[in-house]
């Protein structure tokens, strides 16, 4: 670990502030959707060929080696993959297989940090590009005070492959600023944690940004800015730290669905739709 949490993390706060946490690879030790390729194939949602392509796409995402153009291709593929999926079927498959395929699930260090922030009186907010219908239950299980997440489009009980709100990059920062205005947070006294350079805008608007297991570009930025660099290395099962309710079964789909839908929103913006 380079740097530390700093003295600002200790003691009761005398102003309203929050700690903002990215989800995948910051709280969760791996890409949640990657582990569910086989169950989705078994449930008839994807073919073996699609499963292998999805696994490769998620691997590229997981190791952080994709540039913007590669990410666009990945999102385009995943958009085609999830379009038409029945929402209830997805939730059923996830509920039935969650305890088999997601282990470990969260970083012990992330849960400990959340507990420390709560002990000082700070709100804990999860800020994720994943869909609200999955981030919400995760936030509830982690006792987060709020979540910021993408909203996936559903028509007649099926995912369309599009999203109505995309919580990504600069939009995360805008959403945090809006929440800070609403809740009266002093952003200079707030904390933020993420692994990805795409979250640089979110990290730059708070007084205490932290890079967690950062990709190479974020590591370079953090070093240049003097931000603490944290290494989370102790993944654990969530139930070993926090009592798990049935709603956690909705956990896994957000990353794949949101990445899949993103390309369509980007295309509509480029076309001026």
Q: Active-site residues: which are they?
A: 22, 24
Beta-strand relationship, 235-236 and 106-107: antiparallel
Cα separation, 12 vs 1, in Å, equals 25
CA-based nearest residue to 197, from 227, 220, 175, 174:
220
Tokens of 19: 């700690």
Q: What is the CA radius of gyration of the chain?
A: 18
Torsion, CA 37, CA 25, CA 146, CA 116, rounded to 10? 140
17: left (phi over 0), alpha (psi -120 to 50) or beta: beta
């Amino acid at each position: 670990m380079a740097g530390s949490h700093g003295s600002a993390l200790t003691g009761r706060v005398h102003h309203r502030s929050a700690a903002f946490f990215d989800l995948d690879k910051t709280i969760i030790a791996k890409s949640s959707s990657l582990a569910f390729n086989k169950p989705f194939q078994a449930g008839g949602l994807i073919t073996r060929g699609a499963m292998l392509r999805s696994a490769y796409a998620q691997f590229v995402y997981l190791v952080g080696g994709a540039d913007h153009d590669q990410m666009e291709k990945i999102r385009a593929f995943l958009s085609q993959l999830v379009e038409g999926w029945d929402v209830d079927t997805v939730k059923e498959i996830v509920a039935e297989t969650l305890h088999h395929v997601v282990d470990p699930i969260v970083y012990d260090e992330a849960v400990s940090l959340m507990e420390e922030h709560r002990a000082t009186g700070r709100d804990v907010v999860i800020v994720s590009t994943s869909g609200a219908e999955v981030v919400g239950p995760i936030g509830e299980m982690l006792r987060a005070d709020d979540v910021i997440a993408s909203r996936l489009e559903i028509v007649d009980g099926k995912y369309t492959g599009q999203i109505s709100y995309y919580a990504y990059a600069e939009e995360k920062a805008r959403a945090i600023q809006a929440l800070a205005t609403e809740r009266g947070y002093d952003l200079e006294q707030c904390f933020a944690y993420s692994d990805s350079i795409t979250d640089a805008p979110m990290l730059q608007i708070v007084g205490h940004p932290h890079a967690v297991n950062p990709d190479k570009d974020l590591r370079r930025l953090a070093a240049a800015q003097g931000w603490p660099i944290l290494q989370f290395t102790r993944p654990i099962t969530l139930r070993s730290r926090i009592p798990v309710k049935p709603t956690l079964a909705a956990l896994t789909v957000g990353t794949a669905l949101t990445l899949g839908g993103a390309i369509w929103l980007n295309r509509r913006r480029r076309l001026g739709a």
